[in-house]
């Protein structure tokens, strides 16, 4: 294991690529830099300026360079005796249409091969209508209440080469192949009305409907075909698109059906079929303001567009780290910086797995590290990293916290505190302020998360006679430090 003595942070994005970093290597070498510490560069969302919204961990982000450009960049580093530390994001991925795993989950629900990859509570406690919402992902992507968006034609079914999808206020969400038959079956009547459609074309379309009919059956029922569901889904979508491109009559029939299905502005009843179709999907489109109370996938803090990954599952760990380990084995990456270590289910297990995954045996003086690893963790007060963690330390927040005190004049700090208290009317202690704001964050941003944890705690309590009658929620007023209650009320009223 090679320990860096001086690092330089490089933030990759579409305006600063591998080729740009390669140009400054000689200059950084003259400065005494031994390692470049690079931001994540797995394929991120389009236009990402930071790379932490990873959409595909198996490929390099084309916006920051090609594989050849990356190899050239690493070769230049090695020429100057320098190394590369890579920032990795094990906790979350982008919840967007650029994430193929996430799209597969939204399309196929619990039948998806990636359903276990994400931290989703498929039977979340507190759902308004559990019989309907069971096995659905709550998607808070709408800018208004669902009915308002629906009735003004803000939600529509469309078709492209990837199949049917929902277009909802700029979001693309796939339609489940289970419901293709419901969409396409009326097209058969449209085609039968035309005297220009051949019997062969009708037969070809009917064979397509047979696939849709088979997929509409419950997963545990036989379909009368030998092909697997994933194969049938792919065949249904590709054949449908091919027919629409090749046969004008098919395209016109599908367009006519979608026009009928997408409703008429000003006529709420005309959207009944579309609403019924959406209810059958593996997700529920919802107003973004419902996220705090109803979202059923774990997020990165309160960011709806970042979904937590179940990296504690060995399959998920291997899948999300495949490219990273490949680069480590090729000696193109010399160290790892683990983002948001506190967000993981079991940091100790993760770090052990990270070190054990490398085939190269650690040297005697490497403190059991197969690869130099540091973690992003903010320690507070006397807190230290657990000694069982196989890491070389943190990314330096604790050092910076101490160093920053050199720039603070104690007299000036008290003056600022006095001005702040006079201006805000808050005269409580820091501890009380910290307490009430922590409660506010838990209630307003993480209500759904607290509900899930409370439900699990309730199930554990029910296993013990002493906890069986404890209520799930304690009602009543909580202590509010002086000077904070009014501010708290104002922030609630303003939607803060």
| CATH code of the region 7-91+309-403 | 3.20.20.80
Percentage, residues of the chain above pLDDT 70: 90
- Res 369: pLDDT: 66
Average per-residue pLDDT in the chain?
88
CB 40 within 8 A of CB 70: no
Helix (H, G, I), strand (E, B) or coil at 249: helix
How many Cβ atoms from other residues are within 10 Å of residue 378's Cβ? 12
Residues 64-121: tens digit of each pLDDT: 999 999 999 999 999 999 999 999 999 999 999 999 999 999 999 999 999 999 999 9
Question: Is residue 426 packed enough to be buried (19+ CB in 10 Å), middle (13-18) or exposed (0-12)?
Answer: middle
Residue ranges of the chain with per-residue pLDDT less than 70: 1, 125-133, 222-225, 358-369, 473-496
Best CA proximity match to 215, nearest among 202, 229, 203: 229
Structure-token pair, residue 208: 């397509």
Query: Nearest CA to 166 among 289, 285, 288, 252?
Result: 285
Question: Which distant-in-sequence residues (6+ apart) come within 8 Å of 406 by Cβ?
Answer: none
Distance in angstroms between the alpha carbons of the first and the last residue of the chain: 47
Report the C-alpha gap between 448 and 467 in whole angstroms: 23
Of the candidates 257, 277, 333, the residue with the CA atom closest to the CA atom of residue 86 = 333
Cα dihedral across residues 256, 262, 267, 269: positive or negative:
positive
What DSSP designation does 389 have? S
pTM assigned to the model: 0.88
What contacts 359, CB < 8 A, 6 or more positions away?
Answer: 329
What's the rounded Cα separation, in Å, for the pair 260 and 255? 9
User: Tens of pLDDT along 5-37?
Assistant: 999 999 999 999 999 999 999 999 999 999 999
Contact 64, 49 (CB under 8 A): no
Sequence ranges of the domains in the chain: 7-91+309-403, 121-296, 410-493
Lookup result for tokens 């079914």: 157
Structure tokens at 42: 């797995």
Question: According to the model, what pLDDT value does residue 485 have?
Answer: 46
The answer to whether 173 touches 139, Cβ cutoff 8 Å, is yes
Cβ contact 18:62 at 8 Å: no
Q: What is the DSSP pairing of strand 283-287 with strand 137-142?
A: parallel
Q: Pairing relation of β-strands 372-375 and 335-338?
A: parallel
Q: Give the β-pairing of 155-160 and 283-287.
A: unpaired
């Amino acid at each position: 294991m090679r320990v860096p003595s001086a690092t330089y942070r490089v933030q990759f994005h579409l305006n600063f690529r591998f080729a740009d970093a390669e140009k400054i290597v000689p200059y950084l070498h003259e400065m005494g830099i031994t390692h470049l510490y690079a931001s994540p560069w797995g394929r991120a969302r389009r236009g990402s300026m930071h790379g932490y919204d990873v959409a595909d961990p198996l490929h390099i982000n084309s916006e920051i360079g090609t594989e050849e450009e990356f190899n050239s960049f690493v070769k230049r580093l090695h020429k100057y005796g320098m190394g590369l530390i890579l920032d990795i994001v094990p906790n979350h991925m982008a919840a967007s249409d650029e994430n193929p795993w996430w799209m597969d989950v939204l399309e196929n629900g619990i039948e998806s091969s990636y359903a276990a990859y994400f931290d989703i509570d498929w039977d979340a406690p507190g759902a308004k209508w559990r019989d309907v919402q069971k096995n659905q992902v709550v998607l808070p992507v709408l800018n208004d209440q669902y009915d308002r968006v629906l009735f003004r034609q803000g939600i529509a079914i469309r078709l492209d080469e990837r199949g049917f999808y929902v277009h909802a206020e700029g979001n693309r969400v796939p339609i489940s192949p289970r419901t293709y038959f419901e969409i396409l079956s009326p097209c058969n009547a449209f085609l039968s009305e035309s005297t220009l459609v051949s019997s062969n074309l009708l037969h070809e379309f009917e064979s397509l409907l047979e696939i849709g009919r088979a997929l509409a059956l419950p997963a545990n029922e036989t379909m009368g075909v030998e092909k697997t569901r994933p194969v049938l889904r792919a065949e249904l979508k590709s054949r449908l698109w091919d027919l629409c491109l090749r046969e004008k009559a098919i395209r016109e029939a599908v367009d006519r059906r979608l026009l009928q299905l997408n409703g008429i502005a000003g006529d709420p009843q005309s959207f009944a079929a579309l609403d019924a179709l959406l209810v059958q999907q593996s997700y529920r489109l919802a107003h973004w303001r419902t996220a705090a109370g109803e979202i059923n996938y774990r997020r990165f803090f309160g960011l709806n567009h970042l979904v937590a990954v179940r990296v504690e599952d060995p399959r998920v760990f291997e899948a999300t780290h495949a490219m990273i380990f490949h680069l480590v084995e090729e000696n193109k990456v010399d160290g790892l910086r683990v983002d948001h270590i506190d967000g993981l289910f079991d940091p100790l297990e993760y770090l052990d797995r990270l070190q054990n995954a490398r085939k190269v045996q650690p040297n005697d003086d490497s403190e059991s590290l197969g690869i130099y690893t540091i973690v992003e963790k903010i320690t507070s007060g006397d807190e230290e990293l657990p000694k069982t963690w196989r890491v070389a330390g943190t990314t330096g927040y604790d050092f910076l916290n101490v160093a920053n005190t050199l720039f603070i004049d104690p007299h000036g700090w008290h003056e600022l505190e006095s001005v702040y208290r006079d201006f805000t009317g808050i005269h409580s202690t820091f501890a009380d302020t910290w307490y009430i704001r922590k409660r506010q964050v838990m209630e307003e941003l993480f209500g759904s998360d607290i509900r899930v944890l409370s439900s699990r705690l309730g199930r554990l309590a029910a296993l013990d006679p002493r906890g069986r009658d404890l209520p799930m929620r304690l009602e009543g007023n909580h202590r509010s430090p002086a000077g904070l209650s009014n501010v708290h009320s104002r922030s609630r009223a303003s939607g803060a």
